[in-house]
Amino acid sequence: MYTFLGFPKVGIDEIKELDAVIFGIPFDDLSTYRKGPKYAPKAIRKASECYDPYVPDLDFDFSNFNIADLGDVKLGSNDPLENLSKIEDFANSICRERVRFAVFGGDHSVTLPIAKALSKNFKKVGLIWIDAHLDFWEEYPEGIKISHATVLKRILETTNISAKNVINLGFRAYGSAPYEKRYAEKYGVKIISTKDLFKKETLRQIDTIVKEISENVEALHVSIDIDVLDPAFAPGVTNPEPGGISTRDLLNILEIIGRYNFSFDVVELAPPYDISEITAHAATVITIQALGLMLSSNLTNKHQNGTLY
């Protein structure tokens, strides 16, 4: 049984004194195109065998922190909504203990129960949505209210997360309905498209917006859909979108966001479509970078202000 970076495996009742935990969600019941994200937690853990618990960009060594892998949330119901409820209960157990966490999805619908758990434990929550898609359909497919294509809209409708504390980075979906972007902007979601990510001034703009959000919330969560990467860098995803950013671009964006503390998830990796495990290794390096930033960021000031992340 693999664990991420060889971190010790512990139970959910052993987390109180830990600096951070990792857990997987083997769930793709609500994926609408290519299946496979349920295999992602195992693929990421396996890929992590190639790496050391060290972040070269940050000169950051995980050995100075108490980190554990909780394994995967135990699902198994034929009812997707029941499985989402189990995920929420699991995440809620972690949030109650004020332990920072990283998650391997799973399709993007798993961020809904994570957001609900955060909202139960913190008065204000911010959300950074790194994704080629807005996931703001009212229904998708027709008649289905909860799927990986509707999840951000459902989060804003069912949690205390305000749209003013949400930003999407990387939108470019050619399969998006025309109304989807208009609806998201009408709600107040800030959107920076993939095209705009390549402008010189955009990184400074992201820094400003995320700083403002972090100052207005108690907990900041980053949701990373691996399809934000161009298929050349991430072929193994459920809904590939050409014209994306590189793995290096995403690591640079994370380094800006990582000036603020956050929990995060990495979703939509589909190992059955992953050529030479390229996407699994990208997801692994992204997780290592994001975890290092989460732990090395300004913890002292944040805790003095009474915030989690």
Question: What single-letter amino acid sits at 150?
Answer: T
Q: Give the model's pLDDT for residue 91.
A: 98
Structure-token match 């997987």, residue found = 24
For residue 234, what are its two tokens?
């991430």
Query: Parallel, antiparallel, or unpaired for β 60-61 and 125-130?
Result: unpaired
Whether the CB-CB separation of 146 and 30 falls below 8 Å is answered with yes
DSSP 8-state class, residue 277: G
All domains in the chain, ordered by first residue: 4-304 (3.40.800.10)
Question: What single-letter amino acid sits at 141?
Answer: P
Alpha helices in the chain (DSSP H): 40-47, 80-96, 111-121, 151-158, 178-187, 194-197, 202-215, 247-257, 278-296, 299-304
Structure-token match 């050995």, residue found = 63
Which of 63, 67, 52, 70 lies closest to 1 in space, CA to CA? Answer: 70
Question: How far apart are the C-alpha atoms of 62 and 295, rounded to whole Å?
Answer: 9
pLDDT, tens digit only, all 309 positions of the chain = 789 999 999 999 999 999 999 999 999 999 999 999 999 999 999 999 999 999 999 999 999 999 999 999 999 899 999 999 999 999 999 999 999 999 999 999 999 999 999 999 999 999 999 999 999 999 999 999 999 999 999 999 999 999 999 999 999 998 887 889 999 999 999 999 999 998 989 999 999 999 999 999 999 999 999 999 999 999 999 999 999 999 999 999 999 998 787 799 999 999 999 999 999 999 999 999 999 999 987 443 444 444 444
Q: Give the model's pLDDT for residue 298.
A: 45
For residue 55, what are its two tokens?
């972040």
What is the Cα Rg of the chain in Å? 17
Question: How far apart are the C-alpha atoms of 168 and 109, rounded to whole Å?
Answer: 16
Whether the CB-CB separation of 216 and 126 falls below 8 Å is answered with yes
pTM for this prediction? 0.95
Which of 45, 66, 72 lies closest to 287 in space, CA to CA? Answer: 45
Whether the CB-CB separation of 255 and 55 falls below 8 Å is answered with no
Question: How far apart are the C-alpha atoms of 129 and 112, rounded to whole Å?
Answer: 12
Whether the CB-CB separation of 236 and 284 falls below 8 Å is answered with no
Q: Give the model's pLDDT for residue 299.
A: 44
What's the first-to-final CA gap in the chain, in angstroms?
30
Whether the CB-CB separation of 227 and 169 falls below 8 Å is answered with no
Exposed e or buried b per residue across 241-268, where buried means at least 16 C-beta atoms within 10 angstroms of its C-beta: beebbebebbbebbbebbebbbbbbbbb
Query: Parallel, antiparallel, or unpaired for β 54-55 and 60-61?
Result: antiparallel
Q: What are phi and psi of 44, to 5 degrees?
A: -70, -45
Q: Give the model's pLDDT for residue 176.
A: 82
Whether the CB-CB separation of 115 and 95 falls below 8 Å is answered with no
